[in-house]
């Protein structure tokens, strides 16, 4: 097999996906359960430590441990049934949804978790919409079926009504929510009964039953599940791979991540149904072949993951070719060479040196101070992938260092957090460089900024919230007019020098527009999935 053939073969073995959900739907628990079932860990809690469980592998930040939530995204790589899984865990709090959307630029599939009792929640809807816009196929896992919840058929109706996707159950539950006994597998016809293990710390026990055994041992629950499964077949709710990959349907599984019910089947479904890496379009819309020379997209930058070294790591999705540690790449944004001597595979806080990687893999490049989310790296034939858009911020605050003797540390920290995309950093002629304006989507982003500036840079910070709630793009000519308006201000985004006009509210913006109809005011990003 030639080099190109080997690259294509390796790409076919990859499954690169994100686990996404509304907060508290069980996303971190599912990430851990998937790693447990793939034998990447031996006991639950090695990935996420919550409520007395073991230390977290992907939730490494101190704030995440203290609050029991995911704030940053993390990459976990493991093997299962001859396939290489790149599981990109995402923030579990809605205030960090922008980081989730960045991650979705790097995956080929998404696993959406629904809470069995709550169904379609606001963040769930936004994430489904982003996946639709990006043409990312979605596998839906109805979680917490071992607790009180809604009817399965009712949840399917809600999914279809609110997303437009046709749900096609792969498994169907035996027993109602909180009386979960097992599943009927509609793809292979198996009937599986589940049994708990203490605390869900190890893989759930599964027993395969014949229809006769199910009828005898599971009684009325089996009868109902069998009848409902027949109804699904009668209405054509069967899996169709082409429609799934075209984002017209969503395969649905039922289970409980905390008890490890249905997790093994989800891994099997990812192997069988989730798409392998495919050629990715560049900024001109041309597809970069998988066997072309190396190219990669930076989707995440994170500093100080390793406290001992205070380093900065850039997560790069391999889009084409073979990555080899030590190769010298070109940074598309600057045209400068970029050396890859320190390349790692990351499993939460644990890192190992990575010598090579293939399309779909996630490579951690250490001390990547020149890289930002959305940057392209390549070898040979030049390529640049579309940038990852920023959201329109809705919250604004002026940051000042409490101790002026820490001004240099403060400035260095602000620049670092801006490069990572933790917040957007804006400059104002009214305030000067020592009082940058921070712009965020959610209030907890400000808490993270203050925490990290103090913990990592020794710079205690005061944030003064501003009254602005709306930001739009503008141009130099319009900026001159806007600077003279009450209830408005012109700010410069540090990372790309874009001019942003901010307003106290929509009413004030429209009032100024009426008085000055020639102003340029364009949306940054109008909402989930609608890019500028």
Check the annotation: does 291 bind a ligand.
no
Which pair of tokens denotes residue 85? 């899984």
The half-sphere exposure of 456 on its side-chain side, counting CA atoms within 13 A, is 27
Tell me which H or E stretch contains 511.
helix 506-515
Check the annotation: does 90 bind a ligand.
yes
- Contact assessment for residue 397 and residue 467, using Cβ atoms and an 8 Å cutoff: no
Question: Using CA of residue 55, residue 61, residue 65, residue 71, what is the dihedral sign?
Answer: negative
Q: Which distant-in-sequence residues (6+ apart) come within 8 Å of 236 by Cβ?
A: none
Q: Which distant-in-sequence residues (6+ apart) come within 8 Å of 242 by Cβ?
A: none
Task: Quote helix, strand, coil % in the chain, to nearest 5.
Answer: 30, 30, 40
Backbone angles phi, psi at 481, to 5 degrees: -70, -45
Check the annotation: does 277 bind a ligand.
no
DSSP 8-state assignment for residue 486: T
Rounded Cα distance between 202 and 186, Å, is: 26
Check the annotation: does 239 bind a ligand.
no
Q: Which residues is 168 bridged to in the sheet?
A: 251
Q: Which distant-in-sequence residues (6+ apart) come within 8 Å of 335 by Cβ?
A: none
SS (H, E, C) 166-221: EEEECEEEECCCCCCCEEEECCCCCEEEEECCHHHCCCCEEEEECHHHHHHHHHHH
Check the annotation: does 185 bind a ligand.
no
Strands 323-324 and 424-427: unpaired
Strands 171-174 and 182-185: antiparallel
Give the residue numbers of the binding site: 89-93
Q: Which residues are annotated as a binding site for GTP?
A: 89-93
């Amino acid at each position: 097999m030639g080099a190109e053939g080997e690259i294509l073969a390796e790409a076919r073995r990859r499954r690169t996906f994100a686990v996404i959900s509304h907060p508290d739907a069980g996303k971190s628990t599912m990430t851990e359960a998937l790693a447990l079932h793939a034998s990447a860990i031996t006991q639950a809690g090695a990935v996420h430590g919550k409520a007395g469980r073991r230390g977290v592998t992907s939730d490494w930040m101190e704030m995440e441990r203290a609050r029991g939530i995911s704030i940053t995204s993390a990459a976990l790589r493991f093997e299962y049934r001859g396939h290489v899984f790149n599981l990109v865990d995402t923030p579990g709090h809605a205030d960090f949804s922008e980081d989730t959307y960045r991650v979705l630029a790097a995956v080929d599939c998404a696993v959406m978790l629904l809470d069995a009792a709550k169904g379609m929640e606001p963040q769930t809807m936004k994430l489904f919409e982003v996946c639709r816009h990006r043409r990312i196929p979605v596998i839906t896992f109805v979680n917490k079926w071992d607790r009180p919840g809604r009817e399965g058929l009712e949840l399917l109706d809600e999914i279809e009504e609110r997303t437009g996707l046709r749900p096609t159950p792969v498994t169907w539950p035996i027993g109602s929510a909180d009386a979960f006994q097992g599943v009927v597998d509609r793809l292979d016809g198996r009937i599986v009964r589940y049994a708990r293990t203490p605390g869900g710390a190890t893989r759930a026990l599964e027993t395969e039953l014949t229809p006769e055994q199910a009828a005898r041992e599971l009684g009325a629950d089996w009868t109902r599940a069998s009848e409902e499964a027949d109804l699904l077949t009668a209405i054509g709710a069967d899996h169709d791979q082409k429609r799934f990959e075209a984002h017209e349907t969503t395969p649905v599984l039922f289970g409980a991540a905390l008890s490890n019910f249905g997790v093994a089947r989800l891994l099997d479904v990812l192997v069988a149904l989730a798409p392998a890496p495919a050629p990715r379009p560049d900024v001109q819309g041309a597809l970069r072949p998988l066997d072309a020379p190396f190219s990669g997209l930076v989707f995440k930058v994170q500093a100080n993951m390793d406290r001992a070294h205070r380093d900065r790591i850039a997560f790069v999705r391999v889009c084409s070719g073979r990555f080899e540690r030590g190769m010298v790449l070109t940074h598309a944004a600057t045209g400068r060479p970029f050396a890859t001597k320190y390349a790692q595979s990351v499993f939460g806080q644990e890192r190992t040196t990575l010598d090579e990687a293939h399309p779909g893999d996630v490579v951690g490049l250490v001390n990547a101070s020149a890289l930002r989310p959305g940057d392209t790296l390549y070898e040979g034939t030049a390529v640049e992938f579309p940038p990852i858009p920023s959201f329109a911020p809705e919250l604004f605050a002026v940051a000042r260092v409490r101790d002026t003797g820490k001004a240099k540390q403060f400035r260095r920290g602000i620049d670092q957090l801006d490069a990572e995309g933790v917040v957007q950093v804006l400059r104002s002629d009214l305030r000067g460089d020592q009082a940058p304006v921070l712009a965020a989507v959610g209030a907890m982003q400000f808490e993270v900024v203050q925490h990290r500036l103090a913990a990592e840079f020794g710079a205690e910070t005061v944030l003064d919230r501003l009254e602005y709630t709306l930001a739009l793009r503008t141009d130099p000519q319009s900026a001159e007019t806007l600077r003279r308006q009450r209830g408005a201000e012109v700010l410069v985004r540090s990372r790309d020098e874009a001019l942003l006009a901010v307003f106290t509210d929509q009413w004030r913006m429209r009032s100024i527009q009426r008085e000055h109809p020639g102003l340029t005011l364009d949306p940054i990003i109008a909402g989930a999935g609608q890019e500028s």
